[in-house]
């Protein structure tokens, strides 16, 4: 038993209201019911949505307050939030927030139905756009309700629009050592266009792999595999299974920023698990899992607790980075389900890490404040939506996948998709003038912060 405050439920999945103190979770009673896990997760969802104001009159649905410097959160965090909440409602069967999720996910689709709304074009990274596509895939795979017919929207078509647009060579390097890789930014007038980092490419790999499994499309699976080969070719994935942050176009992708962030290998691992599953365990994909999974578990779970080496050690984590542990947990849990061969390696670490996550939650102004330094066992005094999303992801990773499984077009999925979805970049409103570092949005914001500190800063990090 990990102390949080008073036991939230006793044999019922119904969760009471506010508790005074931290959460309380019985980590020895998991399995099908896992009442205390579900209860604690419910409270973290309440904390997350207490930050969200998009469903209030006059506010913008789908996004958390921001972007900086006005408030803490960039546009992409909204997509990450709704993907997390759809996992929550699927694993707990709590549908209380469905209307909020539907409004958010459909409001931000953009004028061309590709999760690239024009008011965000000045800071649109390929990874920003991709995180909304990842959430749309989660909607399709978990059986979240299809959008109302009058909206003429389809979850799979939205994801395909993003994938198709990012396949376009106009968003990619077309020469030299970097040839074929997806750029960080989606529009060439934006700062960061010349940075060829890993996150847009791992997002693209993940989206394509999940589309391939959903439609049982081996041709698409092979296409997705080319991205893995490109990342290995430029040594963003090295011989030991480390996954690095990226490099600049001007350096021909040869001077690599060796910072490592957990969401990159987690995206690759989950994508590989989808391909492994659709191919009935083909070692074409299994060998790649064998290459990066052991190092990911070793590097990001020192002493059994999730740790973001490239920011946490120096106390330099940005708001974006505070969400990464939740992705790591959720996507590894999905991997353990789709590729059960690896479950014995993954699940004990997720359990021990979730215990650490909960143990540092403590009484605070909201009665159950959770920070990011899970290894300390002590609340670090800082909380927010991203910290809560990470703790929620850790809790969700311990819940069993429902019997319906991860849906496909042949196993209960109702989303139909559209292979021709997407648009030409020229159809979008032209980008605004280049933005300043302080204004940049997107998951890739970490890159410039790391580079500003010097490429050599992280070269010593390892186990």
Structure tokens at 353: 């890490």
Give the burial class of 232: count Cβ atoms within 10 A of its Cβ; 0-12 exposed, 13-18 middle, 19 or more buried. Answer: middle
Distance CA 230, CA 245 (A): 14
C-alpha pair distances (Å), 41 with each of 10, 91, 226, 235, 409: 15, 10, 38, 38, 29
Whole-model pTM: value is 0.89
Distance CA 228, CA 235 (A): 11
User: Residue 23 has what pLDDT?
Assistant: 80
Distance CA 347, CA 358 (A): 16
Give the burial class of 160: count Cβ atoms within 10 A of its Cβ; 0-12 exposed, 13-18 middle, 19 or more buried. Answer: buried
Distance CA 359, CA 197 (A): 35
What is the 3-class SS of 173-204, one letter each residue? CCCCCCCCCECCECCCCCCCCCEEEHHHHHHH
Q: Are 195 and 447 in contact (CB under 8 A)?
A: yes
Angle (CA) 25 294 284, round 5°: 120
User: Residue 198 has what pLDDT?
Assistant: 98
Instruction: Tell me the three state secondary structure of residue 377.
Output: coil
User: Residue 21 has what pLDDT?
Assistant: 46
All structural domains of the chain with their residue ranges: 73-452
Q: Is 214 left (phi over 0), alpha (psi -120 to 50) or beta?
A: alpha
Consecutive sets of 10 residues in the chain, 463 residues long: mean pLDDT of each?
34 34 77 84 95 94 93 96 98 97 98 93 92 98 97 98 95 97 94 96 98 97 97 98 98 97 98 98 97 98 97 94 98 98 98 95 70 93 95 97 96 95 69 43 42 32 32
Q: Are 4 and 361 in contact (CB under 8 A)?
A: yes
User: Residue 176 has what pLDDT?
Assistant: 97
User: Residue 262 has what pLDDT?
Assistant: 98
- CATH 1.50.10.20 assigned to domain 73-452? The reply is yes
Please tell me whether the peptide bond between 67 and the residue prior to it is cis, using omega within 30 degrees of 0. yes
Structure tokens at 404: 């319906």
């Amino acid at each position: 038993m990990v102390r949080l405050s008073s036991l939230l439920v006793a044999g019922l999945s119904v969760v009471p209201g506010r508790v005074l103190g931290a959460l309380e979770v019985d980590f020895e009673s998991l399995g099908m019911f896992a009442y205390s896990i579900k209860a604690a997760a419910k409270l973290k969802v309440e904390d997350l949505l207490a930050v969200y104001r998009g469903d209030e009159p006059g506010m913008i649905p789908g996004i958390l307050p921001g972007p900086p410097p006005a408030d803490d959160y960039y546009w992409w965090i909204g997509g990450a939030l709704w993907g997390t909440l759809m996992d929550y409602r699927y694993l707990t069967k709590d549908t209380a927030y469905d209307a909020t999720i539907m409004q958010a996910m459909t409001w931000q689709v953009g004028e061309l139905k590709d999760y690239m709304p024009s008011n965000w074009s000045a800071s649109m990274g390929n990874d920003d756009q991709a995180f909304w596509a990842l959430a749309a895939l989660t909607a399709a795979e978990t059986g979240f309700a299809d959008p109302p017919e009058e909206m003429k929207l389809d979850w799979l078509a939205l994801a395909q629009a993003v994938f198709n647009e990012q396949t376009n060579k106009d968003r990619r390097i077309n020469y030299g050592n970097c040839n074929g890789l997806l750029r960080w930014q989606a529009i060439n007038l934006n700062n960061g266009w010349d940075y060829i980092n890993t996150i847009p490419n791992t997002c693209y790999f993940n989206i394509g792999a999940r589309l391939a499994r959903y439609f049982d499309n081996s041709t698409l699976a092979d296409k997705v595999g080319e991205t893995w080969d490109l990342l290995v070719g430029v040594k963003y994935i090295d011989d030991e299974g480390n996954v690095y942050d990226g490099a600049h176009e001007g350096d021909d992708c040869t001077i690599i920023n060796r910072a490592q962030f957990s969401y990159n290998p987690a995206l690759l691992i989950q994508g590989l698990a989808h391909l492994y599953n659709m191919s009935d365990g083909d070692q074409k994909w299994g060998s790649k899992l064998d290459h990066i999974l052991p190092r990911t578990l070793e590097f990001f779970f020192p002493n059994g607790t999730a740790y973001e080496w490239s920011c946490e050690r120096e106390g330099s984590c940005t708001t974006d980075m505070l969400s990464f542990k939740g992705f790591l947990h959720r996507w590894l849990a999905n991997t353990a389900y789709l590729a059960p061969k690896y479950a014995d390696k993954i699940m004990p670490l997720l359990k021990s890490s979730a215990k650490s996550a909960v143990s540092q939650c403590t009484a605070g102004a909201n009665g159950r404040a959770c920070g990011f330094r899970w290894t300390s066992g002590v609340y670090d005094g800082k909380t927010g939506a991203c910290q809560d999303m990470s703790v929620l992801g850790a809790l969700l990773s311990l819940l069993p996948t429902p019997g319906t499984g991860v849906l496909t077009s042949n196993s209960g999925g109702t989303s139909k998709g559209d292979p021709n979805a997407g648009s030409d970049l020229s159809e979008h409103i032209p980008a605004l003038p280049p933005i300043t570092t302080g204004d940049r949005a997107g998951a890739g914001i970490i890159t410039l912060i790391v580079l500003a500190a010097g490429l050599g800063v992280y070269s010593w990090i390892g186990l």
